[in-house]
Structure 1
Amino acid sequence: MRDFRKYNIWKLSHSFTLKVYDITKHYPKDEIYGIISQLRRASSSIPTNISEGCGRDSDSEFNRFLTIALGSASEVEYLIILSKDLNYIDENSYINLNEEVNIIKRKIYSLKQKLKK
């Protein structure tokens, strides 16, 4: 069994999730059951799936959960574009969040490739 806390990608995605929760506090209240909820769920799904995958028995199972985490990261990427286009976040926040989520996506992909070897 792997310790998910030792994975840099888990640490990055957990930190990213905390940022998403913080920034969505400033979204319009009528989005509480809409984009706020979806963005928070998708962002927290990234470290959650990494954690769950670490508790599995094989590299192939871990890889499957990394694939799910990668899908969640792509969902977050779209939702931050939507947030920017709806003027819920400014351009600078968008750039920072987009850069972070793409770093996370690249690192997940890299880890998936290492597990295949």
Structure 2
Amino acid sequence: MKCAWIYGADQLMIDYHDKEWGRPLHDERGLFELLCLEGLQAGLSWKIVLNKRKFLREAFDNFEVEKISQYTLDDVEKLLTDPRIIRNRRKIEAIINNAKIVNALHERNESLDSFFWGIIDNRPI
């Protein structure tokens, strides 16, 4: 059964609905990507984000936490000139900051997966 919001949607939204939306995810890179995409979506439609997802993956090193946590001001400036992505300085800086935080979790042998699912499962963090 499909959700009401999917009727009349384009194929990209239908594929997202059928293959990703509402499905548990435990992959660290995938969780970080969704965290980034949700942040980028603020004030925009999810359709805009999905339409740019391929380019966002390219621009942000496939959302690899270790790589993004090393980004510099030069990287931010370069991203701000990429017309294929959502070019908002604060959102880009938030992605880099979140990568640093997730990287710190990993250095303590913790995971984004346990952090998120601990909240969802109502476990102590």
TM surpasses 0.5: no
Which protein has the larger Cα radius of gyration, Structure 1 or Structure 2? 2
Q: Which has the higher contact order (CA 8 A, sep 6+)?
A: 1
Q: TM-score, normalised by structure 1?
A: 0.38
Q: TM-score, normalised by structure 2?
A: 0.37
Say which structure is richer in helix. 1
